[in-house]
Amino acid sequence: MNLERLQRAERQLGAKRLDALALVPGPNMLYLTGLSLHLSERPSVFILGAGGERGIIAPALEAPRVSQTLGPSVRVFAWSDEQGHEGAFASACEAMRLAGRALVVEYLQMRAIEVKAFERHAPGVRLSALEEQFPTFRAIKDADEIEKTRRAVAIMEAALRETMAAIKVGATEREVAAAYRMACMNAGTEGMPFSPIVASGPNAANPHAVPTDRRIQNGDFVIIDCGAAYGGYVADITRTFAVGAVSPEAEQVYRLVLGANRAGCAAARVGVACGDVDRAARRVIDEGDFGEFFIHRTGHGLGLEGHEPPYMVAGNPTPLEVGMIFTVEPGIYVEGKVGVRIEDDLVCTETGVEVLTAFERNLIRL
């Protein structure tokens, strides 16, 4: 249990006259309670009332671990496989007086099974989205979270350095991805926070390509977008490597993306709107006449999830605050021809930003 975070969440609910928050297993539940449960066919929901009431609906087989982690201040509404979950939802909704109340839930996590159970057992309950009510819920990281991210970055960069030996003419994208996975596990990652992207030649023009059996050829760009996790915190990097002699046009695309990356990082500091970080990066690519080929936002927050607020996207007025961790990752994708993305991880500090990723950004020729 993280009392400071729980009390902050209670204050946030109170300030917006919201009555309670209900979280299913996932990053928000982990963040507030330290509980790491599976989001499975057996529903579990942690409920926090604005007045400090705390309860959890949990499968009976998890109840001992749940009680031990949460302590006596949280009431456990356990249900067995034979009983099913409806009775536990009914008891929790009654005990926490949720009927007719304003309940905040995770639109990106909670499923129809939980929503329908709340609607059945708390008639008149008014649901709203955590993502809209509190868009920066986990966005400001404390020193411990920043340190864990640094460790994740170190693991990821060590693994990427080792993987470079596998990027060669004749190797398949799948083989390079496997080399990264192995190197990253050996370097100490807690698992793969997301499947590494390895995209060569024309495949690099697909921002979220899945590694294929295509063999790397002389003159290819190879994009590697890969991550690592430490203490639950995710690092995320993209580098684009040249194999052999790439065309002058491809080198020009690389220079533009690198310029956009540098401009995005330079624009980021406390108080700057996330949309303006996007604008700074995008301007470089627009001015190079490749604007139509930069087909995604400039970046996203990083933390317990690989994509989380704040988003560096046009029109986002959210100002950067000290402790926010996010990516700057402009790209150019010309279908059937070329793709380049260069991604770094940054933390906003009192005096500017610290770029957590140190991996070489100038074009590496293999």
Q: Which is nearer to Mn ion, 149 or 327 (CB)?
A: 327
300 part of the interface to ligand GLY, by CB under 6 A: yes
CB 222 within 8 A of CB 145: no
297 part of the interface to ligand GLY, by CB under 6 A: yes
Interacting residue with ligand GLY among 49, 59, 201, 207 (CB under 6 A):
207
The binder of 236, among ligand GLY, Mn ion, none, by C-beta within 5 to 8 A per type, is Mn ion
Interacting residue with Mn ion among 236, 276, 278, 345 (CB under 5 A):
236
Q: Which is nearer to ligand GLY, 49 or 207 (CB)?
A: 207
Q: Which is nearer to Mn ion, 236 or 278 (CB)?
A: 236
Per CB under 6 A, contacts with ligand GLY among 324-343 are 329
HSE (side-chain half, CA atoms, 13 Å) at 48: 26
Report cis status (omega within 30 of 0) of the bond before 211.
Answer: no
Closest CA to 113 of 105, 19, 97: 105
Amino acid present at 217: Q
279 part of the interface to ligand GLY, by CB under 6 A: no
101 part of the interface to ligand GLY, by CB under 6 A: no
Closest CA to 199 of 237, 180, 173: 173
Reduce the DSSP state of residue 143 to 3 states and report it: helix
Smallest gap from Cβ 329 to Mn ion, in A, equals 5
Interacting residue with Mn ion among 33, 240, 327, 357 (CB under 5 A):
327
189 part of the interface to Mn ion, by CB under 5 A: no
Q: How far apart, in Å, are the Cα atoms of 243 and each of 222, 246, 340?
A: 7, 7, 13
Q: Which is nearer to Mn ion, 114 or 344 (CB)?
A: 344
Secondary structure of 188-254 in the HEC alphabet? Answer: CCCCCCCCCEEEEHHHHHCCCCCCCCCECCCCCEEEEEEEEEECCEEEEEEEEEECCCCCHHHHHHH
206 part of the interface to ligand GLY, by CB under 6 A: no
Amino acid present at 44: S
Chain residues in the site for ligand GLY (CB under 6 A) = 207, 296-297, 300, 329
Chain residues in the site for Mn ion (CB under 5 A) = 236, 327
